[in-house]
Amino acid sequence: MLDKLVRFLVARAGKEYSAGYRAIATVLGAALFLAGCPALAAFSGRLTNGSVLAPDLAWVFGWDFFICGVPWVVWAVLWQLWKGKGTPVPAVPTRHLLPTGPYRFCRNPMMFGFFCYIAGWAALLNRPGAYAAAGVLMALLLAEIKCVEEKELAERFGEAYLRYKKETPFFFPALPVKKVQPEGLPSGA
């Protein structure tokens, strides 16, 4: 079943989409992730009693996560729209491999930012159910990346993606390492 999904996404990647179509897909995807996921965390939080952290600590953690995550999400989405000529929505994917911009720091900067965003909501809601819902969402998204997205990207971009995957951290941003050519070796050796 996952192979069929990967083939479907690869086939969709070969199509050209208008700017309007890409805009609609982006807005719908953003609504799902930026409003739907926090709403699910809030609903799940109401199903449980008590709090996990002291209120002041939860507030600080929540806002720290937002401040850390939201810029990554915005930068990655804009980069996909502008440089990738696609969207973050898998059904309207980028047309180009993106090893630049936020994607030079990690392969999944948008998800890194989103995980910080949803963790921020969980902290602000500060209920066991909210943390549980955030954790389940994160686990499901990680599974989708590993089981579907990485296979689709390898099929679409081949060796270029496999090299990028080998050289770039999966999830946590890191400063890019400039490869130093050892002395005495010709370039490309």
Q: For residues 105-142, b (16+ Cβ closer than 10 Å) or e, as one string? A: bbbbbbbbbbbbbbbbbbbbbbbbbbbbbbeebbeebe
Distance (Å) of CA 90 to CA 25, 29, 167: 10, 9, 23
Is residue 156 domain-resident?
yes
**103-118 pLDDT tens trace:** 999 999 999 999 999 9
**CA dihedral over 15, 19, 24, 28, signed as positive or negative:** positive
How does residue 188 score in pLDDT terms, banded at 50, 70 and 90? low
* Mean pLDDT estimate for the chain: 91
Residue 66 has pLDDT above 80, yes or no: yes
Distance CA 110, CA 41 (A): 19
CATH of the domain at 124: 1.20.120
Res 149: pLDDT: 95
Residue 178 has pLDDT above 70, yes or no: no
Percentage above 70 pLDDT, the chain: 93
Is residue 13 domain-resident?
yes
**83-92 pLDDT tens trace:** 988 888 888 8
Q: Kind and range of the H or E element at 79?
A: helix 55-82
Res 181: pLDDT: 55
**35-65 pLDDT tens trace:** 999 999 999 999 999 999 999 999 999 999 9
Pair 58, 124: CB distance under 8 Å: yes
Considering the entire predicted model, what is its pTM? 0.87
- Say whether 142 sits in a helix, a strand or coil: helix
Distance (Å) of CA 10 to CA 43, 146, 147, 174, 189: 35, 16, 14, 29, 34
Q: Kind and range of the H or E element at 10?
A: helix 2-13
Is residue 88 domain-resident?
yes
Residues in the chain: 189
**Domain count along the chain:** 1
Res 57: pLDDT: 96
Distance CA 154, CA 150 (A): 6
**147-156 pLDDT tens trace:** 999 999 999 9
Is residue 39 domain-resident?
yes
Residue whose C-alpha is closest to residue 116's, from 147, 137, 140: 137
Is residue 170 domain-resident?
no
Is residue 177 domain-resident?
no
Tell me the residue range of the domain where 112 lies.
2-162
Is residue 187 domain-resident?
no
Res 17: pLDDT: 84
Is residue 142 domain-resident?
yes
